[in-house]
A and B are shown apart, each in its own frame.
Chain A
Amino acid sequence: MHITRTTAAATLAAALIASATACGGGSSTDGSGNGSPKELTYWASNQGASLEADKATLTPELEKFEKQTGIKVKLEVIPWSDLLNRILAAATSGQGPDVLNIGNTWSASLQATGALRPFDAKAFDAIGGKDRFVSSALGATGAEGKDPAAVPLYSLAYGLYYNKKMFADAGIANPPATWDELVADGKKLTKGGKYGLAVEGGNLSENVHHAFVFGKQHGADFFDASGKPTFTTPEAVTAVKQYIDFIAKDKITAPGNAEYAANQSVADFATGKAAMLLWQAAGSSLKSHGMKPEDYGVAQVPFQTAGASGDTAVNSMVAGINLAVFKKTDNVDGALKFVKFMTSDDEQKLLNGTYGSLPPVKAAQSDPAFATPDLKVLADALANSAAPLPQVANESQFETAVGTAMKDLFADAAAGKPVTTESVKAALEKAQQQMPAS
């Protein structure tokens, strides 16, 4: 009897464990049905202040689309923290939306999965032509030499936001144009519990975006021509260290920023705890934290040297959101119609105007509504000095691996542990080892 009871208990325990661990491999099936040709499912990314706000913005437009074409669009707004996992689950199970938003840096990675329908010449014809889009934005839609996996929907770039009053109080006349100036200004501004610069040290994507820009300025690319990771070149190490040094060496950033991952740096800037912030179109967030537009200025992100030119004259990534068609959609025509609608001049003006981003459609971008001082700075960066993140299949893994390495380095710096060229190199070495061998 004892033996049988033990066996029974063991079997039960096995089932218990199995149910707990098998999740690692299971596939999610929460795909929304794409059954009828008169209906589309659209996954929107979270662009506004909240999911509800986005729903309120998009719903009238979707109704407009239904009136024009008779196609009903089922909308789901998905928070950024879930979006990539949801897309991966959709790709794995084949159950997904018809049309979806993706972060433009994921384009090449998702392109490699084959889950998105390539925009070939015919598809571009159906939505009004490729030359309607700004060319820098098209650079972040997939690997070079392949048909784009998506089309640009909203464009963004980084700018240097600075607090005008704090600058005036510290006797600084102009925003810094080089990093040396930024550090010098930052030291003047760091006093009495206030700091020069706010960073989002626990946010992997933010870390990588800055590593990329510093890397470009030092001539590091993070991937070689064949798509192999090259994280440990001296240039890459210098680039990453320069960013970590804001806490480690220059001490113009509060150590507590090392754990920020929920946009606390924006709040710190808006409430005057930090005088500078590197961010993409922060306008609406700053407003929601009670900072008035006249209280802050927006300047170009600094370069290494004044008047940088050529390959090192990069001071922003090409940031933005792309619109993609899911390959397994059973309504390609309807999906393309919807893409055409969302990238039409009118919708571009309206949606980008609401979200504070720039339209990647040329005709819409020239609208005077996008000629505000801060958007002009961002548009200028986008047109002249922005580069797309590496368009390689492993980009998404790069963001996680290098972003995590930088988060750990920030943690070291904040805890007072020394951050040296060697320790940065070791961290990047570890990140590189985590990259898939392909």
Chain B
Amino acid sequence: MTATVPPVRHSSKTPSPGGRRAAGGRTPLSRLRLPARLRRASLPYVLLLPALALELLIHLVPMVVGVVMSFKELTQFFISDWSAAPWKGLDNYRVAVDFNAPVGEDLLKSFLVTCEFTVLAVGLSWLFGTAAAILMQDAFRGRGLLRAVFLVPYALPVYAAVITWSFMFQRDTGMINHVIHDQLHLTDGRPFWLIGDNSFFALVTVSVWRQWPFAFLCLMAGLQNIPRELYEAAAMDGAGIWQQIRRITLPSLRPVNQVLVLVLFLWTFNDFNTPYVLFGRAAPDAADLISIHIYQSSFVTWNFGSGSAMSVLLLLFLLVVTVLYLLATSLRRKDA
């Protein structure tokens, strides 16, 4: 934003005789003032200052505290007096990335589960979002109502929505088993969804259900910017619906998708609420997402140093992925 302020030259470079006289009349004051040019240039920064200060306070300070904690042995014996906690150097990190020892091995497992989960959840959310946005592009009766209904999962408070899912996933009394076992007879016995291996699919289901309306919303907005003439011209040239989607819709949505996929990735990878509400403080191995894992490593075992080290590692990982992603997508855009 700051770069868009136009340089205002004429006022300082076109000295009018009257203006000079006026300035000369108040010499002591004007000498104290900054040159007009500097004043104008600094205005945007001054306006940004409060936001910057808050940003530092709200984002950077906790981050720095977290990083400092990761170098300390901050266990239950020291939490009431942080300064007494001994420095551990890189020990917390060493333990976290030693994949042959139990702590590192579990962290790696949790990381892989999270990757798998993120790819599935983001992929499906994006697919559903895109499909729904394209299908609802043409006006039909009840479109507004359907759009509103589709957005409900996104608008619901996380806790209320996920706790409802956890009731539905209960083995003996849940609706899911009632439908797939009692009514459709798809399974031999009643499967468990909240414990054991199936918990992974339960988690993906709830996550996709929560996220896809956001994809839908973004893509729907993106679709409004594609000129209808493009489609008409393509239709005249004999392009079918699939070709139109492939050659017009998707390329035009590229900037939206670039941001959307990144944001979905970050949200999903870091998602804490969904698994926590669904499974409680001890998630099953199959659904042990990294955020829950770190929570367990710090709050449940009361070792905040180790938990912070894992958080910092997670931060670095997401940062690297994000930068690579942005570089890759921008480069491709340049090529195109």
Contacts and interface: CB of A to CB of B under 8 A. Distances in A.
Interface of A: 2, 4-6, 9-10, 13-27, 85, 88, 91-92, 94, 109, 112-115, 202, 204, 254-256, 258-259, 261, 327-328, 393, 396-397, 400-401, 403-404, 407-408, 410-412, 414-415, 430, 433-436, 438
Interface in B69-89: 69-70, 75-77, 79-82
A414 B192 contact: yes
A29 to B, nearest CB: 11
A140 to B, nearest CB: 18
Interface string B18-54: 0000000000000000000000000000000000000
8 contacts: A13-B326, A17-B322, A23-B272, A24-B295, A27-B65, A114-B80, A202-B195, A433-B102
A169 B306 CA distance: 56
B66 A22 contact: yes
Contacts of A88: 79, 299, 302
B76 A259 contact: no
A112 B330 contact: no
Contact of B327 (A6, A26, A256, A393): A6
B307 interface: yes
B137 interface: no
Given A22-B59, A109-B302, A204-B282, A258 B296 contact: no
A396 B192 contact: no
Contacts of B299: 85, 88
Interface in B223-258: none
Residue of A16, A91, A109 ringed by the most chain B CB atoms within 10 A? A16
Contacts of B326: 6, 9-10, 13
Interface in B149-202: 170-172, 190, 192, 194-196
B117 to A, nearest CB: 16
B310 A259 contact: no
A435 B75 CA distance: 12
A434 B102 contact: yes
Nearest to B199: A411
A113 B301 contact: no
A92 B65 CA distance: 13
Contact of B262 (A5, A13, A27): A13
Contacts of A411: 192, 195-196, 284
Contact of A15 (B55, B195, B262, B300): B55
Interface stretch (B5-13, B140-148, B213-221, B313-321): B313-321
Given A14-B322, A17-B266, A254-B172, 5 more contacts: A13-B262, A20-B267, A88-B302, A115-B79, A414-B195
A401 B102 CA distance: 13
B311 interface: yes
Residue of B82, B103, B326 ringed by the most chain A CB atoms within 10 A? B326
A17 B284 contact: no
A410 B318 contact: no
A430 B308 contact: no
